């Protein structure tokens, strides 16, 4: 059966990309989306696991047969029993999510026949050296009910009628305690295991390729854009300075984005008066650089006209030949 990757999943993927983590740390993300729709006979569960923003495991309940699968860019080194157990866990989790969604339907008196989404983000962050840093657990229903585990990993923040009721139930069942134990032990173990399996990829360093572009705006001002491409890991700093000062400039900066080949890209832009381009410098700092780099826009050098030179040489040769003949 054809795999369905819904637009709703993009929200969790955006959260993954926008979530920042300390330099040198290794984040593990569990992204879960349960969907109902008019074209679905039963809810669909899509479950994805990322480490260091690299996709390593996937489960889609619409696959035949539905099973947890390896999709990391390194060779699968798990035993077959691991995938069988994970598939069973996914099927059990799917039933738990379906029951939770049905409970929310009852709170809002929904029939459940339309398009609905239940999205969950769970994350574990490990510092270099294998020490647990912090964890996350966030749930979003239809884009409005929101519940999240606080930084203390003991209390909850809830927004929405259904979220409030779910929070009370989770507090009764000590769900936060269960999550804390899982993240601090199982999450850390999984990260350390994957760092061994994929060390050539996960622990590598790719130096960013950096350049500055210049574009004239409609109002006559200049947009200077500093690009950093093909770098890994994802943590990078791009800043613009005027006359070498550390003053804060009004910059347009995009979040670090995956390039699709295992590397990342990012740019930062600043608008400057025409003629003052050389007063602005871009400063880049990344793990792959021996030291931070400073560069400015370099105007293109005027090209040397080839045809006049060739024509002159030919005429010169003809004239010289004529003189010798004379």
Whether residue 154 sits in one domain with residue 55? yes
Token output for 68: 């947890």
**Residue in the block written with tokens 């899509």:** 46
CB 144 within 8 A of CB 160: yes
Whether residue 215 sits in one domain with residue 195? no
Averaged confidence pLDDT in the chain: 87
Q: Which of 231, 300, 238 is nearest to 270 (CA)?
A: 238
Most confident of the following: 5-9, 64-68, 299-303, 313-317: 64-68
- The enclosing domain of 190 has a CATH number of 3.30.500.10
CB 179 within 8 A of CB 135: yes
Domain count, the chain: 2
pLDDT, greater one: 318 or 188: 188
Whether residue 270 sits in one domain with residue 191? no
For 276-311, give the secondary structure using H, E and C: CHHHEEEEEEECCCCCCEEECCCCCCCCCCHHHHHH
For residue 3, is it within any domain?
Answer: no
For residue 300, is it within any domain?
Answer: no
Give the pLDDT band of residue 318 (cuts 50, 70, 90): very low
For residue 318, is it within any domain?
Answer: no
Pairing of strands 156-159, 236-242: unpaired
Whether residue 84 sits in one domain with residue 55? yes
Token output for 133: 């840093």
Q: Which of 54, 86, 52 is nearest to 72 (CA)?
A: 54
pLDDT for 226 beyond 90 = yes
Q: Provide the domain limits for residue 151.
A: 9-202
Give the pLDDT band of residue 21 (cuts 50, 70, 90): low
Q: Which of 30, 40, 84 is nearest to 61 (CA)?
A: 40
């Amino acid at each position: 059966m054809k795999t369905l990757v819904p637009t709703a999943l993009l929200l969790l993927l955006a959260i993954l990309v926008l979530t920042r983590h300390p330099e040198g740390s290794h984040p593990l993300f569990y992204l879960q989306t349960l969907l109902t729709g008019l074209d679905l006979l039963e809810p669909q569960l899509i479950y994805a696991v990322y480490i260091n923003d690299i996709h390593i495991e996937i489960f889609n309940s619409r696959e035949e047969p539905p099973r947890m699968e390896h999709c990391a860019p390194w060779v699968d080194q798990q035993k077959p029993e691991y995938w069988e157990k994970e598939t069973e866990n996914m099927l059990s989790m799917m039933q738990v999510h379906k029951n939770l969604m049905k409970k929310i339907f009852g709170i809002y008196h929904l029939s459940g026949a339309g398009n609905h989404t239940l999205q969950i983000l769970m994350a574990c962050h490990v510092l270099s050296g294998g020490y647990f840093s912090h964890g996350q657990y966030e749930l979003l229903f239809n884009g409005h009910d929101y519940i999240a585990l606080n930084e203390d990993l003991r209390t909850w923040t809830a927004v929405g009628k259904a979220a409030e009721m779910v929070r009370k139930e989770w507090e009764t069942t000590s769900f936060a305690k269960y999550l804390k134990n899982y993240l601090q032990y199982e999450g850390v173990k999984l990260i350390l295991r994957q760092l061994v399996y994929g060390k050539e990829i996960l622990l590598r360093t790719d130096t960013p390729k950096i350049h500055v572009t210049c574009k004239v705006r409609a109002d006559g001002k200049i947009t200077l854009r500093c690009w950093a491409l093909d770098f890994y890991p994802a943590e990078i700093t791009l800043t613009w300075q005027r006359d070498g000062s550390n003053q804060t400039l009004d910059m347009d900066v995009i979040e670090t984005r995956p390039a699709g080949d295992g590397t990342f890209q990012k740019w930062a832009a600043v608008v400057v008066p025409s003629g003052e381009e050389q007063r602005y410098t871009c400063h880049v700092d990344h793990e792959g650089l021996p030291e931070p780099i400073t560069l400015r826009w370099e105007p293109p050098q005027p090209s040397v006209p080839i045809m006049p030179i060739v024509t002159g040489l030919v005429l010169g040769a003809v004239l010289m030949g004529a003189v010798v003949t004379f």
